[in-house]
Chains A and B, each alone.
Chain A
């Protein structure tokens, strides 16, 4: 019996310790995650809270009120029609149609749900509705409206501008759009979809940034090699051609990048092999479920299923099953400009309560380091050459001397139907300009060539952003 008692004591003490450990970790888990979990977009308690709480305002970076409420359950949007439509995906809506917008994703903040149901008590006792928090965004309404104005008429597409040093999203535009003030209007069927965050496009030649990075990382001496292009490269039964029948002849790697030579980059991808290319791309955030605090972005994919040589070649020029969201593309450019450091995208600059007291402000966070500063600088140089004398010349900004305009164009095939135009891509950044650390990604769906359609758009947009003095 004596041994039995000590055995019972031992097991009981172990159980007591486990219960204590669970209780303590329970406390820490709640402390750590409470705000995050409550603010999850799938918190269905929002609908209840909307009935009793006056939602806070949504404001842009300059303090312009984009939407506000004066009583529970109602919502007023800014009067200017163009502005409202341009920012529709950023603001979100009250019917939960565009679930990535601020009014949807951050509804729990606008409703100040962190103190659960005390609002209910306040209302019962005083008869006054509690008021939620105001959200100041990082986006500039004026820039977004400008992009909406100059975007090719009747085209679908996406544009985003970010500050690559802080990660702040300066503008997001997705077309077609909708009117949050009048949700009864009929819209095109993908209008509620925020293409910047949710649509995965084939990146086309813009992906050569990553192929180049991978080559510089893995193939020593590749920068000094000479390449030859006869316009077509037959790899087993698959023919790789350069865009619009170009024959680039003999050239350096810099020139091959600037002229966006498919043959050269296809063969580079072949030399790298699927595994190494995939690894570099994953360093840049491909095949990763993004879980950012401020935005909800779909994952970008590369080489997820098959990994044979042909797939590697296709991936090397951004075709095949490769797909990327526009914001991720801007982040990739930004990471190269930011010496290989990719910042976490931020949308909310500041949160204030109804009394105007600041509750939280934006803090820049490193998302990941994608490559070394040396290689990032090297890639930036190649991208500078692209704008100086390659496919991206129309992205140059006239009269701009504070830094270097760097970029990469892309004309992505997205269907087997040869009658359809390619998606026009441009992504780039301003290099070495402390006051204007912008990175940009532009997609014009069925726009044709990136160099002639997307690049000039980017030039105008970045110029406007500089005029507005955005940071």
Chain B
């Protein structure tokens, strides 16, 4: 009887419980796309193509991932489910298929980012000198929207030629990698302050744009990673209290400062979208109608009218989800995010180094926080911010950033598995076997 090889270990992992989940997700992708291909009118070739490509892509992606990493398949499958849900919804809701096909293309590119993320995540932390060099570069990149302005009210986009991207999205995984490196070091305040200063500057730029959704995400990423990395709960509470006070003070002067009129009107719209006083309130009202229209079973795939909500493909994709699939299903999707959160939290707690623990948890914290922010915005619990629903909303920058973060998590899970394997081999003097 030979000792178990890495191949054998991989086999042991493949054999287990994730396969039914994988097949269910593939069936879901196939069925949804087939349904969309054969709705009223001529057969849609794009949807027909996707009914094969999505399940095949999910399967092949898993095989490629397994070739290089001992990654957690469960997370991969759930992420693939959310990604394909985005393509399905975009195709179902919008008249044109361009956004759905672009989304599929971005997911393809994103898979490369996912692999890169997994590679970065499976290594130990980067050289600090390199990070210190990167910090100003990143800040300059975040300043780009002021140079290459677009028409949108909040200038958080960069347009160069026909290519548009959102630096704040791309910055998210970068920030997490940096902070994980900084706060995992026990050196104390002198080092932490450098990273905190970087984060504060980034937040300042976001405030000027103004991109409050990303600002909130960046702020909470920094605070939570600081807390986990350093364990200074008193400082953390103090900062949170300070931030709450700051927000209160900011809200009280909001009406008086003309520079913030854009924000003031957003909050006024949130408080009373019904009066018809504000043009932009239409979006919220239509979004709520869309959410309410879903009912228990939804309108049926492709039968909803969520395209009447402005910016449905990114801001209001959750409303589209509810209308097409119904309220229980959208709760289930929230459950998928919950599963990812729990699963990654376990990975973070099992991580062998402080860096890896921080890195994986930082990623899932960002994804979950972003999800909560936009879902609460859609449900009119919080004012609407322009952040995307991770993995589902349309948008290249957002997909690439989310997939990179998923990759980082998968990388950490791969390190865990390798370490676990090493441990088992060591404890059994190389005699541990595949049962």
* Residues of A that sit less than 8 Å from B by CB: 1, 3-5, 7-9, 11-12, 15-16, 18-20, 22-23, 25-27, 29-30, 33-38, 40, 42-45, 48, 113-118, 120-121, 289, 291
Contacts and interface: CB of A to CB of B under 8 A. Distances in A.
A30 to B, nearest CB: 6
Given A40-B289, A115-B295, A8 B357 contact: yes
A11 B228 contact: yes
25 contacts: A4-B229, A8-B357, A9-B345, A12-B342, A15-B341, A15-B372, A16-B338, A19-B341, A19-B368, A22-B375, A23-B331, A23-B334, A26-B331, A36-B292, A37-B288, A38-B289, A40-B288, A43-B293, A45-B293, A45-B308, A114-B295, A116-B294, A120-B303, A121-B300, A291-B274
Among A23, A30, A120, residue most surrounded by chain B Cβ atoms (within 10 Å): A30
Contacts, number: 120
Contacts of A3: 231
Nearest to B292: A37
A37 B291 contact: yes
Interface string B323-340: 000010001001101100
Interface of B: 224, 227-229, 231, 272, 274-275, 282, 285-286, 288-289, 291-295, 297-300, 303, 305, 308, 327, 331, 334-335, 337-338, 341-342, 345, 348-349, 354, 357-358, 361, 365, 368-369, 372, 375-376, 379-381
Q: Give the most central of A33, A37, A40, A48: most B CB within 10 Å.
A: A37
A7 B231 contact: yes
B376 A11 contact: no
Nearest to A34: B292
B372 A22 contact: yes
B341 A16 contact: yes
Contacts of A19: 334, 337-338, 341, 368, 372
Q: Which of B288, B327, B338 has the most CB of A within 10 A?
A: B288
Contacts of A36: 292
B341 A29 contact: no
Q: Looking at B275, B291, B365, which has the most chain A CB atoms within 10 Å of its CB?
A: B291
A29 B286 CA distance: 16
A22 B380 CA distance: 11
B381 A25 contact: yes
Contacts of A29: 379-381
A115 B296 CA distance: 9
B354 A30 contact: no
Contacts of B372: 15, 18-19, 22
A45 B345 CA distance: 42
B379 A42 contact: no
Nearest to A29: B379
A25 B381 CA distance: 9
Contacts of A115: 295
Given A26-B327, A38-B289, A120-B300, 17 more contacts: A4-B228, A4-B229, A4-B358, A7-B231, A8-B348, A8-B349, A8-B361, A12-B345, A15-B365, A19-B338, A19-B368, A29-B380, A30-B292, A30-B327, A40-B289, A117-B300, A289-B274
A31 to B, nearest CB: 9
Which of A15, A29, A36, A120 is the most central at the interface, judged by chain B CB atoms within 10 Å of its CB? Answer: A15
Contacts of B303: 117, 120
A429 to B, nearest CB: 30
A120 B298 CA distance: 12
Given A11-B228, A43-B289, A117-B303, A27 B327 contact: yes
A402 B197 CA distance: 81
B289 A30 contact: no
Contacts of A113: 293
Contact of A116 (B295, B349, B380): B295
